[in-house]
């Protein structure tokens, strides 16, 4: 009997955010140290998935990720030029984690990089609004002890560089539909690593229109009910397998990938 043929589609942002939240819960429970965090071993996960259902071949491996890494963008204090931004994107694809994930030893994924979007926003009422929300949530006094004058904040002209992710869920969904339509009978199962409900329609198409099996890999908290209900195979809830599929490492700053010339402070605008 031939092995089941499968393709996996990874939403790295969704998996990472779920892993980050689960790490915090393990810290509170004393399972890992306060300065430790989980990291998913993608090679182990693939081996685990290929060992299910009597053995299967995950012959197509698609990895969708927002680049540059968020930590690199957070260090930017002014909008980079188009040339600087494209260079940062190029360097992100070719080094560190994103380079490793494309190597066979780490999964041999095909990387689908989705550039983050940037926007300049004025502070103005942002801090003021946050102040009142925190004050209300903490019973009238800021737990952090921060000294903030909300009236001054409302007149602030400081600019902030805001990053936001846009288009990753659409790109992943489109690739699922395209791949399913292209592969036909050569594909048996679609595995979606990510719990975003935005993938429900693509998963429904693969199941109902193309007759494919659907499996979801996700952390428990981010898993949308609508997506879970489309699945035809038991989901892999990473919370239940973290000891086998993850490793623990100390929290650390990632390698600095921000061009020095971009790291300049924004000037206040009148």
Domain-embedded: residue 267: no
pLDDT score of 239: 98
Domain-embedded: residue 139: no
Q: What CATH number does the domain containing 223 carry?
A: 3.40.50.1010
Domain-embedded: residue 213: yes
Domain-embedded: residue 144: no
pLDDT score of 38: 93
pLDDT score of 88: 79
Residue located via tokens 């737990």: 143
pLDDT score of 264: 32
Rounded to 5 degrees, φ, ψ at 138 are -100, 10
CA angle 112, 241, 93 (to 5 degrees): 20
pLDDT score of 267: 34
Residue 38: domain span: 4-116+167-262
C-alpha to C-alpha distance for 218 and 14, rounded to whole angstroms: 8
pLDDT score of 232: 98
pLDDT tens across the length of the chain (270 residues): 689 999 999 999 999 999 999 999 999 999 999 989 899 999 999 999 999 999 999 999 999 998 877 666 666 666 777 787 788 778 777 677 888 899 988 889 999 988 877 666 666 666 667 777 777 777 766 766 666 676 776 677 666 666 656 789 999 999 999 999 999 999 999 999 999 999 999 999 999 999 999 999 999 999 999 999 999 999 999 999 999 999 998 875 433 333 333 333 333 333
* pTM, full prediction: 0.79
Structure tokens, 188: 């048996």
Which residues have CB under 8 Å from 128's CB, separation 6+? 150, 151, 153, 154
Measured in whole angstroms, the distance separating CA 221 from the mean position of its chain's CA atoms is 14
Q: For residue 142, what are the CA distances in angstroms to 48, 132, 152?
A: 46, 9, 17
C-alpha to C-alpha distance for 219 and 195, rounded to whole angstroms: 7
Structure tokens, 136: 């209300």
Domain-embedded: residue 212: yes
Domain-embedded: residue 268: no
C-alpha to C-alpha distance for 36 and 91, rounded to whole angstroms: 27
Domain-embedded: residue 97: yes
Domain-embedded: residue 126: no
pLDDT score of 85: 75
Which residues have CB under 8 Å from 20's CB, separation 6+? 37
Domain count, the chain: 1
């Amino acid at each position: 009997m031939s092995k089941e043929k499968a393709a996996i589609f990874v939403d790295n942002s969704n998996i990472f955010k779920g892993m980050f939240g689960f790490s915090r819960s393990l810290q509170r429970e004393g399972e890992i140290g306060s300065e430790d965090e989980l990291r998913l071993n993608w090679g182990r996960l693939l081996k685990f998935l290929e060992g299910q259902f009597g053995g299967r071949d995950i012959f197509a491996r698609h990895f969708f990720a927002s680049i540059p890494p968020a930590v690199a963008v957070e260090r930017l204090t002014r909008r980079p030029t188009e040339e600087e931004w494209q260079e940062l994107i190029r360097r992100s694809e070719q080094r560190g984690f994103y380079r490793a994930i494309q190597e066979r030893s780490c999964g041999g994924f095909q990387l689908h990089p989705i550039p983050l979007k940037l926007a300049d926003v004025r502070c103005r009422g942002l801090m003021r609004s946050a102040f009142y929300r925190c004050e209300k949530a903490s019973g009238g006094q800021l737990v952090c002890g921060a000294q903030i004058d909300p009236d001054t904040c409302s007149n602030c002209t400081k600019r902030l560089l805001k990053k936001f992710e846009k288009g990753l869920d659409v790109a992943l969904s489109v690739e699922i539909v395209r791949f399913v339509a292209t592969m036909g009978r050569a594909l048996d199962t679609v595995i979606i690593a990510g719990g975003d409900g935005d993938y429900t329609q693509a998963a429904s198409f693969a199941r109902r229109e193309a007759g494919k099996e659907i499996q979801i890999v996700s952390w428990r908290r981010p898993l949308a009910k609508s997506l879970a209900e489309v699945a035809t195979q038991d989901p892999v809830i990473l919370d239940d397998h973290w000891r086998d599929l993850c490793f623990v490492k100390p929290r650390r700053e990632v390698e600095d990938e921000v061009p020095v010339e971009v790291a300049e402070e924004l000037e206040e605008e009148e």
